[in-house]
Structure formats: C-alpha cells, structure tokens
Amino acid sequence: MTKNRNREILGRVLRANPAYELVLYDRLEPGVREALADLQKDAGFYGVLRPREAAGLGVKSVDRETALLFLTLGEPGPLPSYVHRVAGGEAGRVVAQLVADSILEVDGGDAFVSGPAAFDLFRGEGASDRDRGRLAALSVEALRYAQALDVSDPLRLSMRLYGYNRRPLTPAWKRLLPSGEAVERHLGVAPGGAHRKLLDRSWSRVGPSNGWISWRSRAAEAVKEVGGAGVTYKLYVSPAPEALADGFGRVLEALALARAPQFKIGADAVGLLRPDKIVAYFPTFERLALAADAIATHLNGTPAQGVPFTSEIGGDGLLSWGVDPPAEERSAFGDGRESWRFWLTHRLARALFVGKAAGKAAGESVEPWRFALERLRLEGVDTDSWTPGALLWRES
C-alpha cells in the first residue's frame, strides 16, 4: 500500500516549498558556516534551506541533488524525468520523503500541501493494534508518551523515547546493588562466582565502557568480526530485572554456544533496570538468529521487560534485534556514529516536533506519533515490526 501511494505522488504536480529559500554554503553568514563546517566533509553537500519567515519550519541541510530538484520545481510541474532515471523504482519514496519534510509540496486538489497535511498521500496501511507484537505495541506507547510531553528540545525528547520502559531506581534496588562490585556478585561473575569460570573460558574483559561491563571473545577470529565500518547486528536480551540473577548464567552458556564475538551488560543498578540491559554483537543476522534460538531455549519461561524500537525475535519481548548503522552514517544530531535505537529515536523525535508544530499551526487531524511512524517508514524501516529494510544502508 505504501508503494501505491508513493506512485500516486509521482503522478501529481509538485513544487518547491515557497516558504523556504535555498542558500549556498559559501553565502551563509560566517557563524552559520562555522556551525556547518563538518558537513563540508560530504562531497555532495550544497547548502541549506532556510525559512523565509517564522513559519514553523526548521533549517535543513541539502545535497546537490536535492538543491537541483528544489530549483527545478521553483515553477510547479511534474517530477522531472531525470529523477525517474536516477532514482528508478525508489523515485516515489524519495519524493514522499521530500514532501513529508516540507521541502517539496504536492498538489492536493484545493491547495499545495506537505508534511502532515499530505499524510494521506504517503502513509502506509500499517498493522492493526491486534496484529502488533508486544514490542511494536510498546514502541507506539513510547511515541504517545513522548507526544504528550512538554519538551522543547529534540535531543531531550529523543532521550526520553530511548529510555522508555526503564524500571525505576527504588531504594530496594539501591540497597541490593550499591556498587559495581555488588553488581558482579549479583550476576555471579565476581571472583569465585558461580559463572566466573565459564566467563573466563570464553571471553576476556574489555576496559571501562561508559556504564557497561563488556567482554570480547577469546577466539582470535572473532575479535575482527564486529565493530568495523559496516553494519553490526545487535541482539537485545531483556529479562525482567528480578529474573536477571537467576538467568544470567544461562545467557552466558547460550552466548558461548553461539560463539558471540562480543557482549555487554549494565554496570550498575541503573544499567540493569534499563530494558536493553544485555546486548550481544554479531557480524551477520544468521549468527544472531542462532544465538537467539539458544537463549530462548535456555531462558524458556523467563519474564521479559522488553526493548522498545527493536524487532521482536522471541520470548514475548525477551529477545529482539537491531542493526547499528555503518560508521559513515552521520548522527541526526551531528554527534558521530550512533546506535540503532538512537538512530531511530533521533528521527522519531524530530518528526514528532514537525507533527506537533503542524497541528498547532493548522489544526491538522493527524496525530504526531502517526506522522512520526510514517516518516520513519519512508527511511526504509518497517515500523510495524521495527525491522530494518534490506536497502536501508545500501552503501554498506
């Protein structure tokens, strides 16, 4: 259904959004050029689209191809034939992205529309609430929660989305896990602990890592398998915090059987209360799936906490997966390489802001969380199952 709607956009008259002006990088004010200096490393970078007036639009950086199309459609008309030749079967999705981002507008009959006002022209069919898995439903909960927050900064909103479904740090958890040493004893991996021999036999400890305890496989070939320039497959293991101590040894056994190259676990009470408390890394999805099967067998019946914005793979939310972007995929907030869930929540937060701003300005009927889902779907993510599409990062 999404593809059919995208083809419908291709048959409409389009125009560049007159609320924007296109400014070449060299002609920006010195302070703005300095702030955008990192974008100059991208050979395709052209400049920015800047709102002509305070119209609820944000500044957008654009590449040469987008700039050329914006200039070409300064006068309304059909999509130029060169775009069809260059984009091929992806032309509809590319144009839908530009319309959703209000860079282009589409003739809606009575007026030219873009953003949430053009929602019906690019929305997918979507699964019903009944058809969604537990984690997909949890992700929608997170978006509805974020939509209701009075937060004015997209990065803060992204962090609230990212942290959704954390358990609270209660006095009982503080007493049980007051230090890193207490966490290791709780998990049975401290010196003399029940699982220490298994751990030492298969993995070696990696240095301090910003709130995580990390281990890397002792197998020489595994050391080079993850962490390079390409995508990295991540398996999330999310038992309820109260079930973690009993199940962690069985997780270690399953990861050893699956020859996991690397894994990590939260280093303190806060880390063990987050939903994505255990993360294992794999070079291929096939290896990840084998590990998931082994863990599902070992943890059968273990209550799950569940990680929002990940693709469910078993155990009613106990196991799920994602794919870290390749190193060259720039963070949406310009802060370097990012994780799968941050890649998602950054984009969702920005789309929520767009949806909320449009609603305030024009009384749009589309709820911002629905607009955010569809905008992300146009990036190549199946937002019914939170599965990354095969062509999401084609350069990898």
C-alpha 253/C-alpha 269 separation (Å) is 23
Task: Give the per-residue pLDDT at 230.
Answer: 64
Total-model pTM: 0.88
Same domain flag for 269 and 177: yes
Does 40 map to a domain?
yes
Number of domains in the chain: 2
Q: Which range of residues forms the domain containing residue 191? A: 171-305
- pLDDT tens-digit readout, 11-40: 899 999 999 999 999 999 988 888 888 888
Element (H, E) at 314: strand 311-314
Q: What is the mean pLDDT of residues 327-353?
A: 76
Task: Give the per-residue pLDDT at 376.
Answer: 94
Same domain flag for 176 and 120: no
Task: Give the per-residue pLDDT at 333.
Answer: 47
Q: Where are the alpha helices (DSSP H) in 299-339?
A: none
Same domain flag for 202 and 293: yes
- Tokens encoding 261: 């190259």
- pLDDT tens-digit readout, 74-127: 999 999 999 999 989 889 999 999 999 999 999 988 899 999 999 988 887 654
Phi/psi at 289 (5° precision): -65, -40
Out of 286, 305, 324, pick the residue that ends a domain. 305
- 131 — pLDDT class (breaks 50, 70, 90): low
Task: Give the per-residue pLDDT at 40.
Answer: 82
User: Please, what sign has the CA dihedral across residues 79, 81, 86, 90?
Assistant: positive
Same domain flag for 175 and 81: no
Same domain flag for 121 and 193: no
Does 395 map to a domain?
no
Same domain flag for 91 and 202: no
Does 329 map to a domain?
no
Does 364 map to a domain?
no
Determine contact, residues 245/188, Cβ cutoff 8 Å: yes
Does 214 map to a domain?
yes
Residue with tokens 């969702």: 348
Does 318 map to a domain?
no
- Tokens encoding 133: 């898995």
- 302 — pLDDT class (breaks 50, 70, 90): very high
- pLDDT tens-digit readout, 306-333: 999 999 998 789 999 999 876 655 454 4
Does 376 map to a domain?
no
Task: Give the per-residue pLDDT at 246.
Answer: 92
Does 96 map to a domain?
yes
Q: Which residues pair with 304 in a beta bridge?
A: 239
Same domain flag for 115 and 237: no
C-alpha 103/C-alpha 18 separation (Å) is 9
